Structure 1
C-alpha cells in the first residue's frame, strides 16, 4: 500500500498524524506486542506479530475510502518516530463515531494520546461534520479516561462487567462530547 499525495495528514504542535503504510508494520508489531498495552485495550491481540500488523494496515484504505473508519499513525513531526495510533469510527447515519487510541508503553505519560485525540476530535467535528464523538475505556485503565477528560469529554455512564478479558469481567466507562458547533 503506497501513501498517496492526497492522503490526509493532521499536524499538531509536536505530532504528525498520517496514514499507516506497510513499512510501519514492524514497529507497530514491536509496540503492540506488549502485555501492558494489551491488558489496557479493548481489541488489541497478544501476541502481536508483524503479520497481524500487516493485516490491520491492509484494512485501512477501504475503511478510509468508504468513510467507516479513519486510522492515523501518531508520529513525531520532526523525527518521524511512531508513537502509536488513533482511530475514529464513523456511523454516518447517526453522524457520530468512537475514538480510540494506543501509545507504545515507552512513550506513555508524555501527552501524545491527548494531543492526537484532540486533533482527531477537531477533524471529526470540523472536517467530517460529526454531531457526537464517544469513547470507552476499562475502569482498570484510568489514564485513558484522563485523556478523554482533557479533550473535553464527559463521563456518561458505566457498562458494568461489559467485557470479559483474561477470565474476568471489566467495567467499561463511557465518555462523550457533542460538537460545540452543532446545528
Structure 2
C-alpha cells in the first residue's frame, strides 16, 4: 500500500492529511458552493456535517489504500484553501486507476490554485512511479476543471455516469 511521502509542496501551497480539527475551517467549502456536489456533498444546509463526512472519507482512504485528498494549506497565511491529492478509484469505467482530484474554496477561485494543485500531484505521481496512466473525473458542466485538466496535459476521454452525474474521464499516459 502506498503512503504519501511528505513534504508535498508547490510554490504557494503545502499539503498535509486532513484532521478532525479542520472541520470548522473546511466547512467554508460547503457554504454557498455550487460545486460541492462534485465531492459527494448532499446537504447544503449543514456545511459542518458535510465537512466532517468529507474528512472522514479522506481519513478512510488514507487507511485503506494510502491515498485520498489532502488539505491544501496556503504557505503565506496558513489557511486551508482547498483539497487535492490522488484517489484510488474502483469503478466499472476505470477499475483500479489513480485520479488526481482537486477542490478550491470559492473565495479562492480564479487565483490559479486548482492548476497549481493538479500540477503538483501530477509531478508527485510521476516521481513516485505510481502507474502508467492517471485520470481526473470531471462533471460535463464543470468547464473550469476541464480547463485545468487540459492545461495539465490531460486528454478528454469518454463521457459516463459517475454517482448520478454525467462526467468526462480526462487522462494522461505516463511514459
Would the TM-score normalized by the shorter structure come out above 0.5?
yes
List structure 1 runs of 4+ shifted beyond 3 angstroms: 58-62
Query: Counterpart in 2 of 1:49?
Result: 47
Residue 172 (structure 1) aligned to one of 162, 167, 175:
167
Residue 80 (structure 2) aligned to one of 79, 82, 87:
82
Query: Counterpart in 1 of 2:30?
Result: 32
Distance 1:66 1:42, change over 3 A: closer
> Residues of 2 paired with 1:43 and 1:117: CA distance?
19
Distance 1:46 1:15, change over 3 A: same
Distance 1:66 1:33, change over 3 A: same
> Residues of 1 paired with 2:80 and 2:174: CA distance?
29
Q: Gapped runs of 5+ residues in structure 2?
A: none
Give the stretch that moved more between structures: 145-154 or 66-75.
66-75
> Residues of 2 paired with 1:54 and 1:128: CA distance?
32
> Residues of 2 paired with 1:43 and 1:54: CA distance?
12
How many residues align? The count is: 167
> Residues of 2 paired with 1:23 and 1:150: CA distance?
34
Q: Gapped runs of 5+ residues in structure 1?
A: 1-5
- Structure ID, larger Rg: 1
Distance 1:60 1:72, change over 3 A: same
Distance 1:119 1:22, change over 3 A: same
**Cα RMSD over matched residues?**
2.6
Query: Counterpart in 1 of 2:124?
Result: 123
Calculate the TM-score normalised by the size of structure 2: 0.81
SS in structure 1 of the partner of residue 168 of structure 2: strand
